[in-house]
């Protein structure tokens, strides 16, 4: 909760990846708040009031995962909404002549996205979802100590650069809208 709050304001891409990791952690804990408490909450160096707030946050996420039917796989609607917001901004940036550097970075990344889609069979996934799936997959591989091929590292470097640029534009857009909002 504390990490999520901090990341949400600083880097939306890291926030989304973190939230996906939280979803998987809750699955690994079999949605048992007592396991979450002992494995995560109790280890945090915060007071009891903050720990109670954290427990409430995790419990609410567990409830949402049950209600939304994403206990085995998939993502919470709150996380899908972040991806939708990022996609909306992505499309606005691509359509705009004000930010040519964004389009250029995207088109440098696109061959990697196409290749990843072909390898993973996620033809229906949007470009950004493919990027986030790849970043999350590599994150999990690193956590498991698995080897990452040179080609994958090259792709991830470009995808990371692109997603970081999008996250930066997202933060700037939240501070001061980059585009006029239509009614």
- Looking at residue 6, its pLDDT comes to 82
Interatomic CA distance for residues 59 and 52, integer angstroms:
10
Give the per-residue pLDDT at 181.
Answer: 72
**Contact at 8 Å (CB) between 89 and 33?**
no
pTM of the model: 0.92
User: Please, are residues 118 and 48 in contact by the beta-carbon 8 Å criterion?
Assistant: no
Query: How much is the pLDDT for 124?
Result: 74
Question: For residue 129, which of 168, 84, 92 has the smallest C-alpha distance?
Answer: 84
Which DSSP category does 147 fall into?
A: -
Percentage of the residues of the chain whose pLDDT score is greater than 90: 86
CA distance 80 to 58: 18
* Mean pLDDT of the residues in the chain: 93
Q: Could you report the per-residue pLDDT of 17-58, keeping only the tens digit for each?
A: 999 999 999 999 999 999 999 999 999 899 999 999 999 999
Residue 72 phi/psi, 5° resolution? -95, -40
Closest CA to 78 of 93, 67, 94, 92: 67
Return the DSSP state at 146.
-
Distance, in Å, from the CA atom of 29 to the CA atom of 17, rounded to the nearest integer, reads 18
Alpha-helical (H) ranges within 11-145 are 12-28, 33-39, 48-68, 77-95, 100-120, 127-143
User: For 155-177, how does the pLDDT look when each residue is reduced to its tens digit (9 = 90+)?
Assistant: 999 999 999 999 999 999 999 99
């Amino acid at each position: 909760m504390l990490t999520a709050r901090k990341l949400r304001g600083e880097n939306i891409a890291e926030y989304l990846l973190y939230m996906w990791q939280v979803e998987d952690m809750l699955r690994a804990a079999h949605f048992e708040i007592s396991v979450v408490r002992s494995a995560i909450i109790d280890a945090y160096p915060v007071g009891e009031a903050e720990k109670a707030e954290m427990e409430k946050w995790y419990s609410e996420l567990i409830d949402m995962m049950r209600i939304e039917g994403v206990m085995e796989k998939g993502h919470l609607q709150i996380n899908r909404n972040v991806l939708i917001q990022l996609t909306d901004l992505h499309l606005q940036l691509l359509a705009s002549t004000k930010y040519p550097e964004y389009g250029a970075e995207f088109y440098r990344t696109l061959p990697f996205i196409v290749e990843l889609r072909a390898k993973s069979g996620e033809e229906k996934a949007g470009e950004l979802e493919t990027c986030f799936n790849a970043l999350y997959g590599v994150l999990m591989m690193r956590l498991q100590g698995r080897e990452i091929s040179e080609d994958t590292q090259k792709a991830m470097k470009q995808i990371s650069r692109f997603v970081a640029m999008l996250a930066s534009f997202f933060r700037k857009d939240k501070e001061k809208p980059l585009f006029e909002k239509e009614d």
